[in-house]
């Protein structure tokens, strides 16, 4: 499906036509450059590779530098492939936020904020064990039993336990477009999207 690479600017809020208060996310969507067109004959599958966000030439390695020169564009920080691209494009074409003008709903993927090592209450939504009274000591946010001793005498794979949280690819589906500002390549969508300010987002139609 077609799409764009974007960057999260931040969150704000607007009032809709019906007067309702709506939280929304402001995204810099494009401009993206077509840096490669993959075909079934040569690569085994069809896809369009887009690049976004300029970077210094001295920060780019030589293989990527040659890749960008072939597309007649400056070095970019973020590359992503889109399968089944709807529009007909050729190498070096610039794709802007105008691509989304006929859409109502978008799927947006980003890397969630890293939370570090967290317990089961924050990580999995456990309620905690027991009450605060009746001599309860320090087991308020403990996970409880994680398995039996006699059988199966082990902990099953996939047991929800404490561990590192966040830093994962998360897709928010069917986000509605509130406003497009083509002259600034700005996209405003209803609700929140994963990631911190300045993080890259994959916007799919």
CATH number, domain containing residue 51? 2.40.30.10
149 and 84 in a common domain: no
The predicted structure's pLDDT at residue 130: 67
Cα torsion for 11, 188, 116, 128, to the nearest 10°?
A: 80
184 and 159 in a common domain: no
144 and 61 in a common domain: no
55 and 20 in a common domain: yes
The predicted structure's pLDDT at residue 179: 86
Mean pLDDT score across all residues of the chain: 88
Task: Compute the average pLDDT of residues 87-105.
Answer: 82
Task: Compute the average pLDDT of residues 58-78.
Answer: 88
Instruction: Check pLDDT > 80 for residue 34.
Output: yes
140 and 180 in a common domain: no
43 and 123 in a common domain: no
- pLDDT tens profile 132-149: 777 777 778 888 888 888
Q: For the chain, what is the domain count?
A: 2
130 and 66 in a common domain: no
Instruction: Check pLDDT > 90 for residue 9.
Output: yes
127 and 50 in a common domain: no
128 and 99 in a common domain: no
Q: Which residues contact 121 (CB under 8 A, 6 or more apart)?
A: 127, 128, 141
| Higher pLDDT pick, 108 / 148 | 108
| Higher pLDDT pick, 1 / 40 | 40
69 and 8 in a common domain: yes
Domain of 41, in residue numbers: 3-116+168-204
- pLDDT tens profile 55-64: 888 888 898 8
Instruction: Count, in order, helices (H) and strands (E) of the chain.
Output: 3, 12
The predicted structure's pLDDT at residue 156: 92
Question: Considering the entire predicted model, what is its pTM?
Answer: 0.83
The predicted structure's pLDDT at residue 182: 86
Distance from C-alpha of 178 to C-alpha of 31, rounded to nearest angstrom: 19
């Amino acid at each position: 499906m077609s799409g764009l690479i974007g960057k999260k600017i931040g969150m704000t809020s607007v009032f809709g036509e019906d007067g309702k208060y709506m939280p929304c996310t402001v995204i810099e969507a494009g401009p993206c450059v077509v840096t490669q067109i993959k075909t079934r004959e040569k690569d085994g599958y069809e896809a369009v590779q887009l690049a976004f966000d300029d970077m210094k030439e001295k920060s780019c390695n030589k293989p990527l530098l040659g890749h960008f020169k072939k597309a007649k564009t400056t070095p970019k920080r973020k590359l992503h492939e889109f399968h089944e691209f709807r529009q007909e494009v050729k190498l070096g074409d610039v794709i802007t936020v105008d691509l989304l003008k006929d859409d109502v709903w978008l799927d947006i993927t980003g890397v969630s904020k890293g939370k570090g090592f967290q317990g089961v209450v924050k990580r999995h939504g456990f309620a905690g064990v027991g009450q605060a009274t009746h001599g309860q000591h320090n087991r308020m946010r403990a996970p409880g039993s994680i398995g039996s001793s006699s059988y199966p005498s082990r902990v099953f794979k996939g047991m929800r336990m404490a561990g590192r949280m966040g830093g994962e690819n998360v897709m928010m589906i069917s986000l509605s477009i509130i406003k497009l500002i083509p002259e600034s390549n700005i996209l405003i969508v209803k609700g929140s999207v994963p990631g911190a300010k300045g993080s890259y987002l994959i916007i799919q139609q």
